[in-house]
Structure 1
Amino acid sequence: MKPLFIVLEGIDKAGKSTQAELIKTHLINQGNSAIISSEPTDGVIGKLIREAMQSQSIAIKNQAKFDEQMAYLFAADRHYHLYNDIDGVYKLIQQDNSHVIATRYYFSSLAYNCNNQEEFDFVYGLNKRFPNPDLVIYIDVSLEVALSRLQNAAYKEVYETEAKLKKVRANYHKIFHNYQGAMLKLDGQNTIESIHQQIITYLEKNFI
Structure 2
Amino acid sequence: MSATARFITFEGIDGSGKSTQARRLHNYLRQGGSDAILTREPGGSAGAEEIRALVLQGDPARWSAETELLLFTAARRDHLERLILPALDAGQTVICDRFADSTRLYQGLSRGDLRGKVDALHDLMIGVEPDLTLLIDMDPEAALSRAKARQTAEERFEDFGLDLQRKMRAGFLALAEEFPKRIRLIDGNQSEDAVARDVIAAVAQSA
TM-score range, shorter chain: 0.7 to 0.9
Residue 135 (structure 1) shift: 0.4
Counterparts in 2 of 1:147 and 1:205: CA distance versus 1, 3 Å: closer
Amino acid at match of 2:67: Q
Give the one of 134, 144, 165 matched to 2:131.
Answer: 134
Kindly indicate whether the alpha-carbon contact (under 8 Å) linking 1:111 and 1:169 is maintained by their aligned counterparts in 2.
no
SS at 1:7's partner residue? Answer: strand
2:102 alignment counterpart: 108
% identical equivalent positions: 26
Q: Which runs of 5+ in 2 are unaligned?
A: none
Return the TM-score normalized by structure 1: 0.86
Give the one of 121, 128, 135 matched to 2:116.
Answer: 121
Moved more, 102-111 or 74-83: 74-83
What does 1:41-190 align with in structure 2 at a 5 Å threshold? Answer: 41=43, 42-56=45-59, 60=63, 66-84=64-82, 88-95=83-90, 97-115=91-109, 118-128=113-123, 129-155=126-152, 157-160=155-158, 161-190=161-190
CA distance in 1 between counterparts of 2:181 and 2:72 reads: 21
Kindly indicate whether the alpha-carbon contact (under 8 Å) linking 2:56 and 2:156 is maintained by their aligned counterparts in 1.
yes
Kindly indicate whether the alpha-carbon contact (under 8 Å) linking 2:55 and 2:71 is maintained by their aligned counterparts in 1.
no
Amino acid at match of 1:17: S
Give the one of 10, 13, 31 matched to 2:33.
Answer: 31
- Structure 1 segments of 4+ aligned residues over 6 angstroms from their partners: none
Moved more, 124-133 or 32-41: 124-133
Cα distance per residue 1:2-35 (max 9 Å; x no partner): 2211000000011111111111111111111111
Counterparts in 2 of 1:172 and 1:205: CA distance versus 1, 3 Å: closer
Return the TM-score normalized by structure 2: 0.86
Moved more, 111-120 or 21-30: 111-120
Counterparts in 2 of 1:57 and 1:143: CA distance versus 1, 3 Å: closer
Counterparts in 2 of 1:16 and 1:59: CA distance versus 1, 3 Å: closer
Q: Which runs of 5+ in 1 are unaligned?
A: 61-65
1:14 alignment counterpart: 16
Amino acid at match of 1:131: V
Amino acid at match of 1:70: E
